[in-house]
């Protein structure tokens, strides 16, 4: 692959939010191999052995998980075209075994960060939900107290009205009794 096509893909991946992949590719091409991933320079680095090692890494559970995530991400990203995704997958498949290992290490690091961010979001969301539920309970208690106070006030007002009616009825009865004469039970 020529360098300008590689650079244009790198820029596209950075724009799409997949800067971890572009940085790792650049690191893998410019940085020496880590001591843990160096291969002896004997027959073990023959093209057939490299292809077998690349195939083993390509089909490893970690790489399958990473490729599935990358495929899902690229399919949902509006900044990554299907052609760009396909080209990136081809470049990934053609990396050396050491470049693939580096890419997987960087992917795992990014995945851990995503999981930590997700966990923090879920904790913040749960805390916010608990806070909202506590505020709702307080509001409901407030409404219940208002209803209880309104009910007590209404009962008090009704009691006063009943007392006034009874007093008015007694006054009416007394007035009728007074108008009927001094001896209401006597015959004329």
Domain spans, the chain: 3-31+46-104, 137-180
- Please state, in angstroms and rounded to a whole number, the distance separating the CA atoms of residues 120 and 125: 8
- The whole-number pLDDT of residue 175 equals 83
Tokens at 18, concatenated: 């997949």
pLDDT in tens, 104-162: 999 999 999 999 999 999 999 999 999 999 999 999 999 999 999 999 999 999 999 99
Q: What is the largest CA-CA distance in the chain?
A: 146
pLDDT at 25 over 70: no
- The whole-number pLDDT of residue 33 equals 42
- The whole-number pLDDT of residue 176 equals 82
User: Residue 37 carries which DSSP code?
Assistant: G
- The whole-number pLDDT of residue 17 equals 41
pLDDT in tens, 45-104: 788 888 899 999 999 999 999 999 999 999 999 999 999 999 999 999 999 999 999 999
Size of the chain, expressed as the number of residues it contains: 188
Tokens at 89, concatenated: 């997958």
pTM: 0.50
């Amino acid at each position: 692959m020529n360098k300008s096509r590689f650079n244009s893909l790198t820029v596209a991946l950075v724009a799409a939010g997949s800067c971890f992949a572009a940085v790792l590719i650049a690191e893998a091409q410019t940085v020496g191999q880590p001591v843990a991933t160096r291969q002896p320079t004997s027959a073990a680095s023959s093209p057939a052995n490299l292809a077998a090692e690349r195939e083993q890494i390509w089909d490893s559970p970690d790489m399958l998980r990473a490729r599935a995530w990358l495929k899902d991400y690229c399919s949902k990203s509006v900044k990554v075209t299907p052609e760009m995704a396909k080209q990136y997958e081809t470049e990934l498949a053609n990396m050396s075994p050491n470049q693939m290992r580096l890419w997987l290490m960087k992917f795992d690091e990014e995945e851990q960060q995503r999981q930590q961010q997700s966990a923090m979001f879920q904790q913040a969301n749960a805390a916010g939900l608990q806070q909202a539920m506590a505020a709702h309970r307080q509001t409901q208690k407030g409404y219940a107290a208002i209803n209880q106070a309104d009910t007590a006030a209404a009962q008090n007002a009704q009691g006063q009205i009943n007392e006034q009616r009874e007093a008015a009825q007694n006054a009416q009865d007394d007035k009728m009794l007074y108008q009927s004469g001094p001896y209401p039970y006597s015959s004329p």
